[in-house]
Amino acid sequence: MATRSIDPGAPDPAYLSFWRERHLCTLTTPRPDGSPHVVPVGVTYDPEARLARVITNKTSAKVRHVRAAGPQGARVAVCQVDGRRWATLEGRAFVRTEPDRVAEAVRRYAERYARMPGPNPDRVVIEIELTRAMGSIR
């Protein structure tokens, strides 16, 4: 199983299928000192928009880290693993608060994880503008 680079906007069916399975993922954000902060999250992958989305609370450390990176966004990675299969998406993350963007992220989360999150007036979405994808899923 060789690691391979994948176009994040045009993944092959097996890679996309793996991202549609229900898996817990990790999000890695940079702390202000440059060290990595890794936390478990739910992630949705939208190759047509070249986005990965993570819903979260506006007061979370991951949101603080992304915002601290400034207007250019934070370089982040999301990853999921299932046995020997793994997939990583990388890009620039931005915190979005617009109700339509948050609603779309919640809809996609509910679709992937078969669970509608409860109401949360402090919910935001971290959108990751994808620049790289890789994995070994065969």
- Read off the pLDDT of residues 62-114 as tens digits, 9 standing for 90 and up: 999 999 999 999 999 999 999 999 999 999 999 999 999 999 999 999 999 99
Mean per-residue pLDDT of the chain: 96
CB 43 within 8 A of CB 18: no
pLDDT of residue 2: 58
Q: What single letter denotes the amino acid at residue 69?
A: A
Element (H, E) at 127: strand 123-136
Helix (H, G, I), strand (E, B) or coil at 137: coil
Tell me whether residue 56 is exposed, middle or buried, using C-beta atoms within 10 angstroms of its C-beta: 0 to 12, 13 to 18, 19 or more: buried
Q: Has residue 1 got a pLDDT over 70? A: no
Q: How many Cα atoms sit within 13 Å of 73 on the Cβ side?
A: 16
